Structure 1
Amino acid sequence: MTSKTLLQPTHQHLRTLRNKLLHLHQVLLETERIAYEQVRGRVSGGELLQLIVHHQQFSWLHPLSELVVQIDEILASDEPIVLEDVKNAIASARTLLSPIETGNAFQSRYANALQRSPDVVLAHAEVSQFLMSKIW
Protein backbone atom coordinates (compact mmCIF):
# COMPACT_ATOMS: atom_id res chain seq x y z
CA MET A 1 0.00 0.00 0.00
CA THR A 2 1.55 3.30 -1.04
CA SER A 3 1.45 6.51 0.98
CA LYS A 4 -1.03 7.92 -1.57
CA THR A 5 -3.51 5.18 -0.76
CA LEU A 6 -2.97 5.80 2.95
CA LEU A 7 -3.63 9.52 2.68
CA GLN A 8 -7.37 9.56 2.03
CA PRO A 9 -8.44 6.93 4.63
CA THR A 10 -6.11 8.49 7.21
CA HIS A 11 -7.48 11.97 6.55
CA GLN A 12 -11.07 10.74 6.71
CA HIS A 13 -10.49 8.79 9.93
CA LEU A 14 -8.93 11.82 11.61
CA ARG A 15 -11.75 14.11 10.37
CA THR A 16 -14.36 11.68 11.71
CA LEU A 17 -12.61 11.55 15.08
CA ARG A 18 -12.50 15.34 15.18
CA ASN A 19 -16.21 15.61 14.41
CA LYS A 20 -17.16 13.09 17.10
CA LEU A 21 -14.97 14.85 19.67
CA LEU A 22 -16.46 18.21 18.70
CA HIS A 23 -19.98 16.83 19.14
CA LEU A 24 -19.05 15.50 22.59
CA HIS A 25 -17.55 18.89 23.44
CA GLN A 26 -20.75 20.65 22.40
CA VAL A 27 -22.87 18.30 24.53
CA LEU A 28 -20.59 18.87 27.54
CA LEU A 29 -20.73 22.65 27.04
CA GLU A 30 -24.50 22.50 26.95
CA THR A 31 -24.67 20.55 30.22
CA GLU A 32 -22.34 23.07 31.87
CA ARG A 33 -24.35 25.98 30.49
CA ILE A 34 -27.54 24.52 31.93
CA ALA A 35 -25.91 23.95 35.32
CA TYR A 36 -24.53 27.51 35.30
CA GLU A 37 -27.88 29.04 34.33
CA GLN A 38 -29.75 27.12 37.03
CA VAL A 39 -27.69 28.98 39.62
CA ARG A 40 -27.02 32.34 37.97
CA GLY A 41 -29.75 32.84 35.34
CA ARG A 42 -29.75 32.80 31.56
CA VAL A 43 -26.74 33.94 29.58
CA SER A 44 -26.44 35.18 26.00
CA GLY A 45 -24.23 33.57 23.38
CA GLY A 46 -21.55 36.22 23.87
CA GLU A 47 -21.66 35.82 27.64
CA LEU A 48 -21.40 32.05 27.24
CA LEU A 49 -18.29 32.43 25.09
CA GLN A 50 -16.67 34.58 27.78
CA LEU A 51 -17.62 32.01 30.42
CA ILE A 52 -16.15 29.18 28.35
CA VAL A 53 -12.86 31.01 28.02
CA HIS A 54 -12.58 32.53 31.50
CA HIS A 55 -14.90 30.94 34.08
CA GLN A 56 -13.66 28.16 36.35
CA GLN A 57 -16.85 26.11 35.88
CA PHE A 58 -15.97 25.65 32.18
CA SER A 59 -12.18 25.43 32.48
CA TRP A 60 -12.17 21.65 32.86
CA LEU A 61 -13.31 21.42 29.22
CA HIS A 62 -10.18 23.12 27.88
CA PRO A 63 -8.18 19.88 27.34
CA LEU A 64 -10.92 18.59 25.04
CA SER A 65 -10.99 21.92 23.19
CA GLU A 66 -7.21 21.73 22.80
CA LEU A 67 -7.37 18.20 21.39
CA VAL A 68 -9.90 19.28 18.76
CA VAL A 69 -7.65 22.23 17.85
CA GLN A 70 -4.61 19.92 17.56
CA ILE A 71 -6.54 17.70 15.16
CA ASP A 72 -7.70 20.75 13.20
CA GLU A 73 -4.06 21.83 12.83
CA ILE A 74 -3.07 18.40 11.51
CA LEU A 75 -5.96 18.43 9.05
CA ALA A 76 -5.12 21.96 7.86
CA SER A 77 -1.41 21.30 7.47
CA ASP A 78 0.21 21.24 4.04
CA GLU A 79 2.06 18.12 5.16
CA PRO A 80 0.49 14.75 4.38
CA ILE A 81 -1.33 13.12 7.26
CA VAL A 82 0.44 9.96 8.30
CA LEU A 83 -0.88 6.99 10.19
CA GLU A 84 1.18 7.99 13.24
CA ASP A 85 -0.73 11.32 13.47
CA VAL A 86 -4.00 9.42 13.63
CA LYS A 87 -2.67 6.91 16.17
CA ASN A 88 -1.41 9.74 18.41
CA ALA A 89 -4.76 11.56 18.25
CA ILE A 90 -6.59 8.33 19.09
CA ALA A 91 -4.27 7.66 22.03
CA SER A 92 -4.75 11.21 23.32
CA ALA A 93 -8.53 10.90 23.05
CA ARG A 94 -8.56 7.52 24.81
CA THR A 95 -6.49 8.89 27.68
CA LEU A 96 -8.49 12.09 27.99
CA LEU A 97 -11.89 10.41 27.82
CA SER A 98 -11.23 8.01 30.67
CA PRO A 99 -13.92 8.92 33.22
CA ILE A 100 -12.13 8.39 36.53
CA GLU A 101 -13.67 9.96 39.62
CA THR A 102 -10.26 10.18 41.29
CA GLY A 103 -8.44 11.18 38.09
CA ASN A 104 -7.30 14.59 36.92
CA ALA A 105 -9.68 17.57 36.76
CA PHE A 106 -11.01 16.61 33.34
CA GLN A 107 -11.44 12.92 34.12
CA SER A 108 -13.28 13.48 37.40
CA ARG A 109 -15.58 16.17 35.98
CA TYR A 110 -16.16 14.00 32.92
CA ALA A 111 -17.17 11.06 35.14
CA ASN A 112 -19.62 13.38 36.90
CA ALA A 113 -21.06 14.62 33.59
CA LEU A 114 -21.63 11.03 32.50
CA GLN A 115 -23.61 10.44 35.69
CA ARG A 116 -25.76 13.56 35.17
CA SER A 117 -26.62 13.51 31.48
CA PRO A 118 -27.89 10.81 29.13
CA ASP A 119 -26.83 13.04 26.22
CA VAL A 120 -23.23 12.91 27.47
CA VAL A 121 -23.48 9.12 27.79
CA LEU A 122 -24.66 8.84 24.17
CA ALA A 123 -21.95 11.16 22.82
CA HIS A 124 -19.32 9.32 24.89
CA ALA A 125 -20.52 5.97 23.54
CA GLU A 126 -20.27 7.27 19.98
CA VAL A 127 -16.69 8.47 20.46
CA SER A 128 -15.70 5.33 22.38
CA GLN A 129 -17.07 3.06 19.67
CA PHE A 130 -15.16 4.98 17.04
CA LEU A 131 -11.94 4.88 19.09
CA MET A 132 -12.20 1.09 19.23
CA SER A 133 -12.71 0.73 15.47
CA LYS A 134 -9.91 -0.34 13.17
CA ILE A 135 -8.36 2.38 11.06
CA TRP A 136 -8.33 -0.06 8.11
Structure 2
Amino acid sequence: MSGQDHMCAHLGNLSRSLLRLHKALLDSERVSYERVHGRIETNGAFFQLVLGDAWFAWLRPLSQLMVKLDELSEEKEMPDRAEITVVIDSVRTMLTPSEEGNGFGRHYYDALQREPDVVLAHAAVRALLRTSSPGKESST
Protein backbone atom coordinates (compact mmCIF):
# COMPACT_ATOMS: atom_id res chain seq x y z
CA MET A 1 0.00 0.00 0.00
CA SER A 2 1.42 3.38 -0.98
CA GLY A 3 1.74 6.26 1.48
CA GLN A 4 -1.15 8.00 -0.25
CA ASP A 5 -3.36 4.90 -0.01
CA HIS A 6 -2.40 4.50 3.63
CA MET A 7 -3.31 8.13 4.39
CA CYS A 8 -6.66 7.80 2.60
CA ALA A 9 -7.42 4.59 4.52
CA HIS A 10 -6.40 6.28 7.77
CA LEU A 11 -8.64 9.30 7.10
CA GLY A 12 -11.53 6.94 6.35
CA ASN A 13 -10.94 5.03 9.59
CA LEU A 14 -10.74 8.25 11.57
CA SER A 15 -13.92 9.51 9.92
CA ARG A 16 -15.81 6.30 10.79
CA SER A 17 -14.54 6.38 14.38
CA LEU A 18 -15.60 10.00 14.78
CA LEU A 19 -19.02 9.08 13.41
CA ARG A 20 -19.37 6.38 16.10
CA LEU A 21 -18.29 8.88 18.76
CA HIS A 22 -20.72 11.49 17.44
CA LYS A 23 -23.57 8.97 17.51
CA ALA A 24 -22.70 7.95 21.09
CA LEU A 25 -22.69 11.63 22.10
CA LEU A 26 -26.03 12.26 20.37
CA ASP A 27 -27.59 9.21 22.03
CA SER A 28 -26.32 10.34 25.41
CA GLU A 29 -27.58 13.89 24.92
CA ARG A 30 -30.96 12.61 23.76
CA VAL A 31 -31.37 10.68 27.01
CA SER A 32 -30.39 13.74 29.05
CA TYR A 33 -32.70 16.00 27.03
CA GLU A 34 -35.64 13.61 27.42
CA ARG A 35 -35.14 13.45 31.20
CA VAL A 36 -35.69 17.21 31.34
CA HIS A 37 -38.14 17.84 28.49
CA GLY A 38 -39.97 14.55 27.97
CA ARG A 39 -39.84 12.03 25.18
CA ILE A 40 -38.88 13.15 21.67
CA GLU A 41 -41.61 11.63 19.52
CA THR A 42 -39.78 11.00 16.24
CA ASN A 43 -36.29 10.85 14.79
CA GLY A 44 -37.26 13.79 12.59
CA ALA A 45 -38.13 15.84 15.66
CA PHE A 46 -34.83 14.80 17.23
CA PHE A 47 -32.95 15.83 14.08
CA GLN A 48 -34.60 19.26 14.20
CA LEU A 49 -33.57 19.64 17.85
CA VAL A 50 -29.98 18.67 17.03
CA LEU A 51 -29.90 21.30 14.30
CA GLY A 52 -31.59 24.11 16.16
CA ASP A 53 -31.96 23.65 19.91
CA ALA A 54 -29.41 25.23 22.24
CA TRP A 55 -29.21 21.94 24.20
CA PHE A 56 -27.29 20.35 21.32
CA ALA A 57 -25.32 23.42 20.19
CA TRP A 58 -22.11 22.20 21.82
CA LEU A 59 -22.01 19.25 19.38
CA ARG A 60 -22.15 21.37 16.23
CA PRO A 61 -18.41 22.19 16.08
CA LEU A 62 -17.68 18.45 16.12
CA SER A 63 -20.20 17.94 13.32
CA GLN A 64 -18.46 20.62 11.27
CA LEU A 65 -15.04 19.03 11.78
CA MET A 66 -16.47 15.68 10.72
CA VAL A 67 -17.73 17.24 7.49
CA LYS A 68 -14.25 18.64 6.78
CA LEU A 69 -12.66 15.26 7.46
CA ASP A 70 -15.18 13.51 5.20
CA GLU A 71 -14.49 16.00 2.42
CA LEU A 72 -10.76 15.37 2.72
CA SER A 73 -11.16 11.59 2.70
CA GLU A 74 -13.43 11.68 -0.36
CA GLU A 75 -11.32 13.96 -2.57
CA LYS A 76 -10.25 12.40 -5.88
CA GLU A 77 -6.68 13.63 -5.47
CA MET A 78 -4.77 13.36 -2.23
CA PRO A 79 -5.37 16.53 -0.21
CA ASP A 80 -2.47 18.66 0.92
CA ARG A 81 -0.69 17.11 3.91
CA ALA A 82 -0.78 20.45 5.74
CA GLU A 83 -4.55 20.60 5.32
CA ILE A 84 -4.90 17.09 6.71
CA THR A 85 -2.66 17.98 9.65
CA VAL A 86 -4.76 21.06 10.48
CA VAL A 87 -8.00 19.04 10.55
CA ILE A 88 -6.49 16.19 12.58
CA ASP A 89 -4.96 18.66 15.04
CA SER A 90 -8.36 20.38 15.33
CA VAL A 91 -10.00 17.05 16.14
CA ARG A 92 -7.29 16.26 18.68
CA THR A 93 -7.73 19.67 20.34
CA MET A 94 -11.52 19.50 20.33
CA LEU A 95 -11.61 16.04 21.92
CA THR A 96 -9.83 17.23 25.03
CA PRO A 97 -12.20 16.95 27.98
CA SER A 98 -12.16 19.71 30.58
CA GLU A 99 -13.67 19.87 34.05
CA GLU A 100 -13.58 23.66 33.77
CA GLY A 101 -15.74 26.12 31.86
CA ASN A 102 -18.91 25.49 29.91
CA GLY A 103 -17.80 24.97 26.31
CA PHE A 104 -17.28 21.82 24.27
CA GLY A 105 -14.55 20.47 26.57
CA ARG A 106 -16.81 20.63 29.62
CA HIS A 107 -19.80 19.02 27.89
CA TYR A 108 -17.47 16.38 26.50
CA TYR A 109 -16.04 15.71 29.95
CA ASP A 110 -19.57 15.30 31.35
CA ALA A 111 -20.52 12.87 28.56
CA LEU A 112 -17.38 10.81 29.25
CA GLN A 113 -18.32 10.63 32.93
CA ARG A 114 -21.86 9.35 32.36
CA GLU A 115 -21.74 7.19 29.23
CA PRO A 116 -19.53 4.09 28.71
CA ASP A 117 -20.24 4.08 24.94
CA VAL A 118 -18.75 7.58 24.72
CA VAL A 119 -15.65 6.40 26.61
CA LEU A 120 -15.15 3.46 24.24
CA ALA A 121 -15.66 5.59 21.13
CA HIS A 122 -13.32 8.26 22.56
CA ALA A 123 -10.62 5.63 23.10
CA ALA A 124 -10.94 4.39 19.52
CA VAL A 125 -10.61 7.90 18.09
CA ARG A 126 -7.65 8.69 20.35
CA ALA A 127 -5.88 5.51 19.19
CA LEU A 128 -6.25 6.64 15.57
CA LEU A 129 -5.09 10.15 16.45
CA ARG A 130 -1.94 8.67 18.01
CA THR A 131 -1.11 7.01 14.70
CA SER A 132 -1.79 10.25 12.78
CA SER A 133 1.26 12.03 14.10
CA PRO A 134 3.20 10.20 16.79
CA GLY A 135 4.46 12.32 19.64
CA LYS A 136 1.59 14.81 19.52
CA GLU A 137 -0.93 12.75 21.46
CA SER A 138 -1.56 13.53 25.09
CA SER A 139 -2.33 10.91 27.69
CA THR A 140 -6.07 11.73 27.61
The TM-score with structure 1 as length reference comes to 0.88
1:127 is matched with 125
2:137 is matched with none
* Residues 46-61 of structure 1: pairs in structure 2 closer than 5 A: 46-61=44-59
Structure 2 residues not aligned, in runs of 5+ = 135-140
Q: Please say if 1:112 is aligned against 2:71.
A: no
Specify the SS of the correspondent of 2:21.
Answer: helix
Cα 1:15–1:104 change in 2 (3 A) is farther
Higher relative contact order (CA 8 A, sep 6+): 1
Distance in 2 between the 1:14 and 1:82 partners? 13
Specify the SS of the correspondent of 1:13.
Answer: helix
Distance in 2 between the 1:109 and 1:62 partners? 12
2:100 is matched with 102
2:9 is matched with 12
Specify the SS of the correspondent of 1:80.
Answer: coil
Aligned residues: 133
Distance in 2 between the 1:112 and 1:51 partners? 20
- Report the aligned-residue RMSD: 2.0
Could you list the runs of 4 or more consecutive aligned residues of structure 1 that deviate by over 4 angstroms after TM superposition?
none
The TM-score with structure 2 as length reference comes to 0.86
Structure 1 residues not aligned, in runs of 5+ = none
Which among 38, 42, 67 is matched to residue 65 of structure 2? 67
Q: Aligned letter for 2:47?
A: L
| Deviation of 1:134 (Å) | 5.1
